[in-house]
């Protein structure tokens, strides 16, 4: 089982979107049985809440369902998951502080797409403050495609 965790601040806008889009691409590739996919926040500000209406709306517009609820990151997550994807540099720094040994699996979510030059930035901007959920979706989609390519190479699947 390949365990993949997406992390943002509130776990209501960006990381649920990434979780849903990545799971959608994994399902399209017929690989769902190989993966455990989840998301969480570095804060507990929205613990138990549904994803933001802007995230749910843009996902629905692209034919993707999502029913997850916000939860905070725990130290056990960092022991359990194989890939931990931070949406921005502030999330990355927070996760790295909480993590013990293996830091290599903690990366910026857009890193792979940035290397492939399918995106021109390393951070997913936070639509909670600025809106622009469709623009964020496009970044998240490209990030998810590139991440899945990298993981398939890593695991020869
Ligand atoms: P997210 O966006 O980290 O993409 O889920 C945010 C959601 C809520 C807050 C900040 C960012 N907040 O401060 O409540």
Identify whether 77 is a catalytic site residue: no
Tens digit of pLDDT for each residue in 30-73?
999 999 999 999 999 999 999 999 999 999 999 999 999 999 99
Q: Do 129 and 94 touch, CB atoms closer than 8 A? A: no
- Domain 2-155 is in which class? alpha beta
**Domain spans in the chain, listed from the N-terminal domain onward:** 2-155
Q: Please state, in angstroms and rounded to a whole number, the distance separating the CA atoms of residues 72 and 11.
A: 8
User: What is the whole-number distance in angstroms between the Cα of residue 73 and the centre of ligand 1?
Assistant: 14
Residue 154: pLDDT band (50, 70, 90) is: very high
Catalytic residue among 38, 88, 126, 142: 126
The response to whether residue 17 sits with its C-beta less than 6 Å from ligand 1 reads: no
User: Average of pLDDT values for 84-112?
Assistant: 95
For residue 8 and ligand 1, the question of a CB distance below 6 A is answered with yes
126 is catalytic: yes
């Amino acid at each position: 089982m390949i365990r993949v965790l997406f992390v943002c601040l509130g776990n209501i806008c960006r990381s649920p979107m990434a979780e849903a889009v990545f799971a959608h691409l994994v399902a399209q590739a017929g690989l769902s049985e190989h993966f455990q996919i989840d998301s969480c926040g570095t804060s507990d500000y929205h613990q138990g809440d549904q994803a933001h209406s802007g995230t749910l709306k843009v996902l629905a517009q692209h034919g993707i369902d999502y029913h997850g609820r916000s939860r905070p990151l725990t130290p056990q997550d960092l022991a359990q998951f194989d890939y931990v994807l931070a949406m921005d540099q502030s999330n990355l720094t927070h996760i790295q502080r909480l993590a013990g040994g293996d830091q290599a699996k903690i990366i910026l979510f857009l890193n792979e797409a940035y290397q492939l030059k399918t995106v021109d930035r390393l951070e997913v901007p936070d639509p909670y403050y600025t809106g622009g959920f469709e623009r964020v979706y496009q970044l998240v989609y490209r990030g998810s495609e590139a991440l899945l390519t990298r993981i398939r190479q890593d695991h020869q699947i």
